[in-house]
Structure 1
């Protein structure tokens, strides 16, 4: 709720998603606070990064919670709502949706390096959600800064390569891209 200059309260409603952190994961609120702070550093990537609004301790249930933008669901593969990864059976070209999504992920990871943000685990399916019809990365900052930016890019590669939803194992072009990512030659210094 905000108060307008004339003193009249104006109501602003937002759909949100609340996720519970385990006691071990919460670290007395440090994890949630870090996730919100690190996610806010990537606010220029709304098409690829889930917005984290706040983290708080809920005394009623005795747990730390994360409050995110509205999420439709966790990414669990192609359930018919998303286009296939490739445009044809030869697997020579990505669908426009996936080309844009993959490009935005790489751009977000690149921006994260310049902002000093480490995701620390974008290889896990639970780090990807569907929000407003697109795939986004969540849990930014969940891991502490014990990892390198290159690990995030490598983990994105691992997620795509190992996930049968994408079916990239039979694509010569994707294998070439995968070899480039796997070689770590894309590391920025």
Structure 2
């Protein structure tokens, strides 16, 4: 675990960032100390142990703590202000997902940036999704490949039925069982 992640996890439980200190460092022995910018070697031991040879400033900690406290958007509805996600035009069959950074939301419209272009995207014509991790992308490719190989040529990863359930859930379950090693003789690399 990185020092910044450890501090975001532990410092709020211990009263927050120590007053009067600007930097927190982990030393070679795994002990974590708070230091002032005066360059003094001595500091306050925080009784936290972890990674070695890293340092975090107060500004870095505050930014990471604020980011950790942001609610996680699940892809439903319009993205919240400050969210970076993907968007796609609903009415075109060959529409591609593109990067979108939301800077405002009002009356069912998301205002923001698509690359360097200012855009307004309404929820009736565009769909939005959070960025996917590499593992999520690998799963999407695998589930889609299984579905298409199984004859479901119209399969679209993540598509939901009108009642909010995943369309064709069996393909997701099969992929997850293969990935977990529960299907003998088949392996996902």
Q: Give the TM-score category using the shorter length.
A: under 0.3
Greater strand content: 2
Tell which structure's C-alpha radius of gyration is larger: 2
The structure with the greater share of residues assigned to helix is 1
